Amino acid sequence: MNRPTVPSPASFDRHAGWLAAACCAIAVVGFAATHAAFSHAQHPLGLLGAADVPGASAFNLLGFIAPGLLAAWVFVRLRARLPVGAARWAGIGCWMLALSALAFAAQGVWRLDPADLDGPISQRHATMWLLWWLAFAAGALVLGAGLLRDRIWRGVSIAFVIAGTVVVLLNAFPVFAGPIAQRVVLLAWLVCVVVASRSGGVIRIA
């Protein structure tokens, strides 16, 4: 009987999560600092990339599009590293998380229009934001449940279950103001992206 082997993520895969998180965090902090009137406690992140805001295009690229595409890559690659025998829900969870990442990137494509918040472009941005956190919460819970029985992956499983639960609770019981809750959800999402990029699996060979 051959011994089980533990495939570690490829070099780019291991660093893609950190790259996505760093890119997003630096963009949020850096661009917010250039706008004296912007408040993390009062304003949504999408306002930094809104139409007619100085530096909006750069923020949308660095704050939404690049991190979202990197995260989508991370979750697709994670699916390829899932352990043999993992519940099929784990793979479905990875696809849901990849969808969440693409929705996050799309927020930078359909920017907010402060002059027409009820217009079609602003509504598309809001729809992508809604799809982002819904797919993230569901995907994290499904992936976590699918990996819970695997001893090697139990830590990853618990991390995703906790993240998904936090997102659901924040939206079901809004104890924080909307902008604060949005940043907590973003932090949970970025942590999951990093965890996913660093996670390997065990292939059991008979």
Domain ranges of the chain: 11-198
Mean pLDDT across the chain, nearest whole number? Answer: 88
Better-scored residue on pLDDT, 94 or 118: 94
Q: Write down the residue that tokens 């990093």 correspond to.
A: 194
Numbers of helices and strands, H then E, in the chain:
7, 0
pLDDT at 202 over 50: no
What's the first-to-final CA gap in the chain, in angstroms? 6
pLDDT the model gives residue 23: 97
pLDDT score of 2 more than 80: no
Average pLDDT over residues 53-77: 96
Q: What pLDDT was estimated at residue 83?
A: 86
Question: What percent of the chain is predicted at pLDDT more than 70?
Answer: 91
List the single range of 69-78, 97-106, 176-185 with lowest mean pLDDT.
Answer: 176-185
The larger pLDDT score, comparing residue 177 to residue 34, is at 34
Place of tokens 């895969």: 13
Q: What 3-state class would DSSP assign to 111?
A: coil
Supply the pLDDT for residue 109.
95
pLDDT digits (tens, 9 = 90+) for 130-145: 999 999 999 999 999 9
How far apart CA 66 and CA 61 sit, in angstroms, is: 6
Higher pLDDT, 1 or 61: 61
Q: What span, in angstroms and rounded, lies between the C-alpha atoms of 51 and 205?
A: 55
Tokens of 17: 């999560």
Structure tokens at 169: 């609770």
Q: Kindly report, residue by residue over 183-195, the tens digit of the pLDDT.
A: 999 999 999 999 9
pLDDT score recorded for residue 9? 63
